[in-house]
Structure 1
């Protein structure tokens, strides 16, 4: 092998020699029993189409060092008020056997067979079904999975699958609600890969260039680039394209905002969850919370619900004269407001309604069953327009 001072041209030329693909050297394929077990496991798992509260699954693919991870991080940052998990395809590299380790420089890590797609598929389907999974941790220096540690990933609102070949297998593609391809110039990707592999993975520049010419570029042309046709969204320039990422996040928020109740009741409105709301829900669900704090935070949540509900009532335009003499065009309720409190739970919301609507009149309605026949009888003590209930 030439010295470190060998020219880059020589390295690139030498890379055209013979090599083997990501297939295992012993030629072993998964046994029929293993394949059958994996198939049975996949068949027994519910598909997303039949799951309640299914998460939004995003696939992010693109060439090596194209900026996929950067795009994923930016999406996660903007979806800060939702639970988001990132699953990297790199975690599912197959560990190399001793014979492969001896010839590791001739192993094609960019071939589809270098990944354990069956395990990736199984983990993804478990996450979609609401189960937590153990994602393996791969050591790129030892080319082995960690035997005593793993990454715990729990079910979330959004699942992001990231990797160069996440679009290659149709079974994985079919689980995705959105497919994103990060498109970056080849020269930029090569420069980034050299910097990443030399600084983070302990490799020298010659081995990086050799691997790029022998495996990375051919695999991109043969497997990665053809999968671009499956993408719903193509992002040029990767993480530098803030406009594209903002539009993607907006679309995801729209999809997540379609609550299951809204699908059943078209006129139902669900308040968007925030860290503040989730924090208050956490407090009032704590069995050790004091009575005073429970009442305080419950009243805050109820007031948010009342204010949100008032915003959906019909308004009409109204002009007023300000203290400075200018005319301000605003809005006013179309009709006078009154409330109907449904006994007993609705009574806990009366104070919030009075705090939001000064002087509002509130009546009460009692709903009970008549004997054992299941028939509901309403005793109306006041006829009003706004129902409040918990």
Structure 2
């Protein structure tokens, strides 16, 4: 009888198998390593990585618009979301509060569950937060209350130390003594500094009154977002990797007092959502009007890392990882025109919109048409990558983020947001 536990020979492995065993290394890094390999197996696997898969549907979130790269939003798959919710329920008593912080698919899991808990949802004030609020508005288990005195919290911070530590400590501050904090964390192979960052985050947790009870490697599975599939295609990875990313589950117990760290300040932005495809314009001082200039020739930026070289030059991003450099004043005017065309009135927008002095002169029709064509390309590309039914295409929205229209306008004039 064959030994099922024996390692499979390389010749029997697929590119997806290699990625799964790479300890969290990104598929594009795995492909780069294969491309320097000299053997036939390396050439076969590299060729497989570049082969487009048959058309498939990869759900991006029931009832939600597409995730956006600037949010670093990787959503748990349904099995992981259900398991995390079940864990929190097991650790708490009927009627106790559970904080759901930055975990949209766990909110959806709670909504479809029969769990007798009170759920406090904390998320960004954007189109995703609005959709979740609408989804649970009629469910009495979801309470509009400050996150405090919770018996448990589930949080999945972006995997960058400053934001990770802030959300971890905020979840801890929201819990009562003896409460539990369940946190999604990067594995050691995600980047060379990941192990050191883990040590530093655990030290931060201790100061915040949290004691690590369990560390479960690769316990969490994430859906690959459409923006990451787009970036991988641009980098040469076309293989079907619907849920390649894994995360560790850290379980903490609240054992002492501690204060929450603030999140790093976010710049004002304006976001326009059309058929679930999201444009986000980051505020900055007005510059001479120029065409929408893609950061790379084919528009789709080849990385999803916030640390990628040159990434911070772009101030207009789509949910398909398209990145552009533009004048924010004239581009905002065009986005507002598109919002008006679709009968969307942004939160905090005054009837006068943005005054003409906030932006150099530009043909508004030309800029609106540019954005409309980009939106069409983004929509078609997302449909090709994850299937036309994988996200809610009825979502249309327009709003200022991280402040009001006044904050955006102030930034255009060179003042602080």
Pair in the same fold by TM > 0.5:
no
Using the size of structure 2 for normalisation, the TM-score is 0.24
From the two aligned structures, give the one with the greater helix fraction: 1
Using the size of structure 1 for normalisation, the TM-score is 0.25
